[in-house]
Structure 1
Amino acid sequence: MIAPVAGHDHHDDDDHHDEDDHHDGDDDTDDESDDGIEIETGTTIILEGETSDWVGAEPEEIEGEENPTLVLEEGEEYEIGWEQGNGGSHNLELVDEDDEVVDEHETEVTDDPGEDDIFEFEATDEMAEYVCRQHPDTMRGEIRIE
């Protein structure tokens, strides 16, 4: 009976069978993270700068997500920026598939982010990712344009 690793969920299996479906939903949420999280037009997207990754702060849909994939509507306006997470120096850039900054959508490197570290942009199909140039291997998330 090792196969029923559902013993791992032993209470969930008996009492919350529907919640197992929600666990599948949670898995779908994880899949949504891979597929992306749709961001409403006009939303301000705030990320926390942790050297290990960007952590979603706002909107609520991305809160706590590491390097969340953002699904944006082409031609629509959004704001994006970052706030301090770990005290390190970071910046935020919107880049294309060649890792080049799109339309000068970037912030200066700083360890004390403020209003200058939030900018408005129009979503274009050129945009592929957001990245911290100081930590490009870990602080990078996908942008999907629909």
Structure 2
Amino acid sequence: MASSDIRRRTLLTGVGTTVAAAVAGCLGGDPDSESEEDEPVVDEAETTEGNTAPDAWRDVETIRFDGWVGGWVGVEPPAIDRVENPTLVLVPGREYEVIWENMDGIHHNIAFWDADREIVEDYSSPGNEVVGEVESLTLEATADIETYRCEYQPEGQRGDVVILESE
């Protein structure tokens, strides 16, 4: 009986070690590998890192997204093309047209939030759940804007906003 207990413990220890190693690998346990958070969730996106150099944003007036339940996918300007939830770099006082298209038939809208998770200056689109439907929102960049989000999927569809110090 004692021999049987030892074999069972050895088996369970081996299984436990294998499961722990697999879970660590799934959770990005290897510091030399890219973490799962760095990979896009939406298949149509190619990366999660866009071009945030101020020069890439100086002449931008229009920002376009595709709206997916997993995240916003940048279309325009080129600095965010195929980037999931890209960081937007805006010039204070400049007016921008933000356009997005519903790609999956899930209800989405876009809203610009401050640090307290409050909508800035009513910068929020009405929202829709129709595949192919397009919405637009015009906003003026202010220092209060910190993020943009879908109010229906605020953690999955969210990106940061950087307001430049001056034009």
TM superposition score normalised by structure 1: 0.71
Equivalent in 93, 100, 110 of residue 111 of structure 2: 93
- Aligned residue-pair number: 114
SS in 2 for 1:89: coil
CA RMSD between the two structures: 2.0
Which residue of structure 2 lines up, in the alignment, with residue 36 of structure 1?
Answer: 52
Matched, 1:110 2:116: no
Which residue of structure 2 lines up, in the alignment, with residue 51 of structure 1?
Answer: 69
Which residue of structure 2 lines up, in the alignment, with residue 130 of structure 1?
Answer: 148
Equivalent in 128, 139, 143 of residue 121 of structure 1: 139
Matched to 1:60, the amino acid is P
Structure-2 change in CA distance of 1:133 and 1:42 (3 Å): same
SS in 2 for 1:126: coil
SS in 2 for 1:65: coil
What is the distance in 1 between the residues matched to 2:53 and 2:103? 22
- Decide which structure has greater strand share: 1
Structure-2 change in CA distance of 1:93 and 1:81 (3 Å): same
Matched to 2:52, the amino acid is G
SS in 1 for 2:79: helix
Which residue of structure 2 lines up, in the alignment, with residue 9 of structure 1?
Answer: none
**Offset at 1:59?**
1.5
What is the distance in 2 between the residues matched to 1:94 and 1:59? 18
Matched, 1:142 2:160: yes
SS in 2 for 1:144: strand
CA displacement 1:43-66 (0-9 Å, x = unmatched): 210111111110001122211000
Q: Is the 8 A contact 1:89 1:110 kept in 2?
A: yes
Query: Which protein, 1 or 2, shows the higher relative CO under an 8 Å CA cutoff with sep ≥ 6?
Result: 1
Determine which structure has more spread, i.e. the larger CA radius of gyration: 2
Structure-2 change in CA distance of 1:137 and 1:41 (3 Å): same
Q: Percent identity over the alignment?
A: 34
User: Tell me, which stretches of 5 or more residues in structure 1 are unaligned?
Assistant: 1-29
- Decide which structure has greater helix share: 1
SS in 1 for 2:128: coil
